[in-house]
Amino acid sequence: MCSNFFRFKTLSTIVLFSVLIYSCSEKNDPSTKSSPDPKVQKLKLPQGFHADHLYGPSENGEGSWVSMTFDGKGRLLASDQYGSIYRMQVPAIGDTVTKLKIEKLSIPNEGGTTADTSKKKVSIGYAHGLLWAFNSLYVMINHESDSEFSKGSGLYRLQDTDGDDRFDKITLLKALEGEGEHGPHSIVLSPDKKSL
């Protein structure tokens, strides 16, 4: 009989503890309710965090964005693994009214104009690393130059020298050999933030 009493007491304690845990779980916290967007539902976020699905590049024919950075104006710069560089004005957190502004950057070949964004006039692509620093966009390319993108593998600095919000100067900082996905990627600031 004593054995049955202890089993009952143990079972009761486990049930009570389970109810207590469930009632205090984050599932009842309205700030952690899952998004109706199936892409966001797949994310595992820490308690108190929230994610919104802003944009799908592949859904819009803009490839697979593999590298991102923010420019000096807070805009997202992203590179398609096999193509161009894009700039996106991200709305403020909680802003459901402002429409996303996304543009394919027109970075001309030497002698080209920034108004012509056809692939034959855009000189840089296949960027696997991006960093905004020192009022410039640093771009790591891992692709042999071709008729679509004239800039081959290397580290480049892109600048807007006339203040029109378009990159008009490309400087090769370091030429590299090779191409493909498995090569140089990230560009980071030094710990003192004075160099790359």
Range scoring the smallest mean pLDDT among 95-99, 171-175, 187-191 = 95-99
Partners of 133 in beta bridges: 136
Percent residues over pLDDT 90 in the chain: 33
What integer pLDDT is reported at residue 23 of this predicted model? 47
- Would you say 141 and 127 are in contact if contact means Cβ atoms under 8 Å apart? yes
Percent of the chain clearing pLDDT 70 (strictly above):
74
The pLDDT of 106-118, averaged and rounded, is 56
Q: Are 86 and 124 in contact (CB under 8 A)?
A: no
Residue 12 pLDDT > 70:
no
> pLDDT grade, residue 33 (50/70/90)?
low
Helices (H), the chain: 2-23, 38-41
Q: By the 8 A CB rule, do 58 and 73 touch?
A: no
DSSP notation for 14-51 = HHHHHHHHHHTSGGG-GGGPPPSSHHHHT----TT---
Q: How confident is the model at residue 125 (pLDDT cuts 50, 70, 90)?
A: confident
| pLDDT tens digits for range 66-86 | 999 999 999 999 999 888 899
Q: Which residue has the higher pLDDT, 69 or 96?
A: 69
Question: Token match 């560089």: residue?
Answer: 85
Residue 32 has pLDDT above 70, yes or no: no
